[in-house]
């Protein structure tokens, strides 16, 4: 997802008040919320950043009369009682409580079903959208100052009997959103089954269905492997990922062109009313292959992203049974499916690997692993030791891992064993990573 990544590149401001925001409006509220959430010792803000925690506490108690010192003493007593009561057993919020990294709750009001995207609204410091597979797009306040409201609802456009991987799958704000108000989404429609890339206008604070302009429709035979990520690159072009659209085994070999857009990442110029092919697309002057294609041979590139520092494109590609993989996408690249799965030949007969690009990283799904969720090359400051590391997850196990993108071999390490259904990542303006889950909660990858 995530929409306005291009605009993130231009917005380096930190999020106002994200850590300094008062945790509660009174000492009683502070105690009630903390007890209700039973956050782990390591998750406590005072452990993460004592100075910011102290400032936040002072901000919390300041409006309630009495001296700050007396209120602080009361708060301290309550706090330490809570710590004594709640610092046993695993944390209820997914933070391991041990290890170097964890997940800090983020935008607590964003508790929606099937969340699969998060994007700051360009030009608005406190507002973001949360994209849900059921078609509702929620406007949320990242400081939880304002209750969520509907930013858009495209559920009436979706196929009426969606399978597990169908629905509203991706959203991106135009790089010029503040002036053109354009929002791009990719969703699954029915009768006949197809994927649709559409542009909407967001005016008066929300998306109008009447403003829909369909840019691209991709016929689909099955309900799975739809891809669906929509991202503007640093070059201003729209990138859309499409899975092979096939059931197990890829019998139709859709990811190997020339006659289909499936199993590819597309690159489109959407600056006008319909889309055009950028002149430097890798196949713009090649006959016999769709000129929209930027890279192909992908099985289900569900989530991809651009490195905000280098502009390079990285994707997770969901495998069949044996391998999950991460690819460094280059224009015109053939990433192998369904000749290969990960680093291994998939089809035992006629396995010609010449010209195929191997994954940068691949892992055999173990335990409850099932599908890679592509993330980001980390460029934040809070976890500066991870600068240049590619952070990703596995959907079923919730394992969040990273490897050094400059020397991937042997550097893969697990950061958080979250046990969360991680559906997507998003990059905040300050470079920190939002973890979007199917557990009706958002988090930020953080240090314990
Ligand atoms: Ca591959």
Identify the helix (H) or strand (E) that includes residue 30. helix 27-37
| pLDDT for res 9 | 24
CA of 332 to the centre of ligand 1 (A): 14
What share of the chain has pLDDT > 90, as a percent? 74
List, for residues 195-219, the tens digit of each pLDDT value.
999 999 999 999 999 999 999 999 9
Q: Is residue 266 part of a domain?
A: yes
In this model, does residue 242 exceed pLDDT 60? Answer: yes
Distances (CA, A) of 48 to 23, 57, 60, 293: 14, 14, 18, 45
What CATH code is carried by the domain that includes residue 399?
2.120.10.30
The Å distance, Cα 317 to ligand 1 centre, comes to 7
pLDDT beyond 60 at 223: yes
Distance between Cα 363 and ligand 1 center (Å): 12
Give the pLDDT confidence score for residue 215 in this predicted structure: 98
- Separation of CA 129 and ligand 1 centre (Å): 32
The three-state secondary structure class of 384 is helix
Distance, CA 225 to ligand 1 centroid (Å)?
A: 14
pLDDT (tens digit per residue) in 408-420: 999 999 999 999 9
Domain-located, residue 339:
yes
Answer yes or no: are the C-beta atoms of 169 and 133 closer than 8 Å: yes
The alpha carbon of 240 and the centre of ligand 1 are apart by a number of angstroms equal to 18
Within 208-301, residue ranges assigned H as helices are none
As a whole number, mean pLDDT of residues 281-299 equals 97
Q: Give the domain range for residue 391.
A: 102-447
86 domain residue, yes or no: no
What whole-number distance in Å separates Cα of residue 296 and Cα of residue 283? 11
**Cα separations in angstroms, 203 against 40, 152, 157, 209, 240:** 42, 11, 19, 11, 24
Q: What is the pLDDT of residue 252?
A: 82
CA of 423 to the centre of ligand 1 (A): 20
Domain contains 70: no
The Cα 115–Cα 441 span in angstroms is 8
The answer to whether the beta carbons of residues 440 and 93 sit under 8 Å apart is no
The model's pLDDT over 130-154, given as tens digits with 9 standing for 90+, comes to: 999 999 999 999 999 999 999 999 9
Element (H, E) at 47: helix 45-48
Ligand 1 centroid to Cα of residue 214, in Å, is 30
Q: Give the CA distances from residue 288 to residues 103, 172, 257, 283, 284, in Å, rounded to whole numbers and listed in that order.
A: 47, 30, 9, 9, 11
Can you list the positions of beta strands (E) in 72-181? 101-106, 115-120, 127-132, 136-141, 149-153, 168-173
The three-class DSSP label of residue 204 is coil
Strand partners, 345: 340
Q: Would you say residue 142 lies in a domain?
A: yes
C-beta of residue 7 within 8 angstroms of C-beta of residue 122: yes
Q: What gap in Å lies between CA 47 and CA 90, rounded to an integer?
A: 17
255 CA → ligand 1 middle, Å? 10
Query: What is the structure's pLDDT at 187?
Result: 98
CA of 126 to the centre of ligand 1 (A): 39
Which tokens hold the place of 262? 């499936």
What pLDDT band is residue 55 in, cutting at 50, 70 and 90? very low
pLDDT band at 69, cuts 50/70/90? low
- Confidence (pTM): 0.80
- Ligand 1 center to 356 CA (angstroms): 8
Burial class (CB in 10 A: 0-12, 13-18, 19+), 147: exposed
Q: Across residues 256-261, what is the average pLDDT?
A: 85
For the chain, the residue count is: 448
Domain-located, residue 65 = no
Predicted local confidence at residue 347, as pLDDT: 78
Q: Which of 224, 217, 274, 231 is nearest to 249 (CA)?
A: 224
The pLDDT of residue 66: 52
Specify the pLDDT at position 80.
43
Give residue 243's Cα distance to chain centre.
17
Q: What is the dihedral of CA 412, 418, 419, 424, to 10 degrees?
A: -80
Instruction: Decide if 5 is inside a domain.
Output: no
What's the 206 CA to ligand 1 centre distance in angstroms?
A: 39
Burial grade of 51 (CB within 10 A; 0-12, 13-18, 19 or more): exposed
Q: What is the pLDDT of residue 256?
A: 87
- Is residue 76 in some structural domain? no
User: What integer is the mean pLDDT of 75-87?
Assistant: 43
Could you give the CA distance from residue 436 to residue 2 in angstroms, rounded to a whole number? 11
pLDDT band per the 50, 70, 90 thresholds, residue 73: low
Look at the chain and report how many structural domains it folds into. Answer: 1
Output the CA 341–ligand 1 centroid distance in Å.
6
Q: State the DSSP H helix or E strand holding residue 182, giving kind and residue range, or none if neither.
A: strand 182-189
Q: Residue 70 and residue 322: Cα distance in Å, rounded?
A: 61
pLDDT tens sequence across 96-120: 446 899 999 999 999 999 999 999 9
Average pLDDT on 343-357 reads 89
User: In sequence order, what are the residues at sequence separation of 6 or more whose Cβ sits closer than 8 angstroms to the Cβ of residue 126?
Assistant: 16, 141, 142, 143, 145, 146
């Amino acid at each position: 997802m995530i929409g306005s990544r291009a605009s993130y590149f231009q917005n380096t401001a930190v999020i106002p008040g994200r850590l300094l925001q008062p945790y509660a409006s009174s000492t009683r509220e502070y105690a009630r919320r903390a007890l209700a959430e039973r956050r782990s010792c390591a998750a406590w803000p005072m452990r993460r950043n004592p100075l910011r925690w102290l400032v936040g506490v002072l901000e919390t108690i300041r409006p309630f009369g009495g001296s700050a010192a007396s209120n602080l003493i009361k708060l301290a007593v309550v706090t330490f009682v809570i710590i004594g009561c709640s610092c046993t057993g695993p944390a209820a919020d997914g933070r391991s409580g041990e290890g170097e990294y964890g997940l800090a709750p983020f935008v607590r009001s964003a508790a929606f079903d099937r969340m699969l995207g998060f994007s700051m609204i360009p030009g608005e410091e406190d507002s973001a959208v949360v994209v849900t597979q059921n078609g509702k797009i929620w406007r949320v306040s990242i400081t939880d100052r304002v209750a969520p409201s509907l930013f858009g609802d495209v559920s009436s456009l979706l196929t009426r009997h969606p399978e597990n991987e169908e629905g509203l799958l991706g959203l991106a704000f135009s790089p010029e959103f503040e002036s053109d108000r354009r929002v791009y989404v990719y969703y699954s429609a029915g009768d006949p089954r197809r994927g649709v890339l559409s542009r909407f206008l967001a005016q008066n604070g929300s998306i109008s269905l009447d403003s829909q302009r369909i840019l691209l429709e991709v016929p689909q035979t099955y309900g799975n492997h739809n891809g669906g990520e929509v991202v503007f690159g640093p070059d201003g072009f729209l990138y859309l990922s499409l899975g092979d659209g096939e059931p197990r085994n890829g019998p139709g070999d859709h990811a190997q062109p020339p006659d289909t857009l499936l199993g590819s990442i597309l690159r489109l110029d959407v600056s006008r009313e319909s889309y055009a092919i950028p002149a430097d697309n890798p196949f713009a002057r090649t006959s016999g292959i769709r000129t929209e294609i930027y890279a192909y041979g992908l099985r289900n590139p569900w989530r991809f992203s651009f490195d905000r520092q280098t502009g390079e494109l990285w994707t997770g590609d969901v495998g069949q049974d044996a391998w999950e993989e991460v690819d460094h996408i280059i224009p015109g690249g053939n990433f192998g499916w369904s000749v290969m799965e990960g680093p291994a030949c998939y089809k035992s007969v006629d396995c010609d690997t010449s010209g195929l690009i191997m994954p940068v990283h691949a892992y055999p799904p173990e335990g409850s692993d099932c599908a890679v969720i592509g993330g980001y090359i980390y460029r934040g400051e809070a976890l500066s030791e991870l600068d240049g590391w590619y952070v990703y997850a596995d959907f079923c196990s919730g394992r969040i891992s990273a490897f050094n993108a400059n020397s991937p071999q042997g550097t893969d390490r697990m950061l958080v064993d979250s046990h969360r259904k991680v559906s997507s990542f998003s990059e905040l303006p300050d470079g920190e990573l939002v973890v979007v889950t199917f557990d009706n909660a958002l988090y930020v990858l953080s240090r314990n």
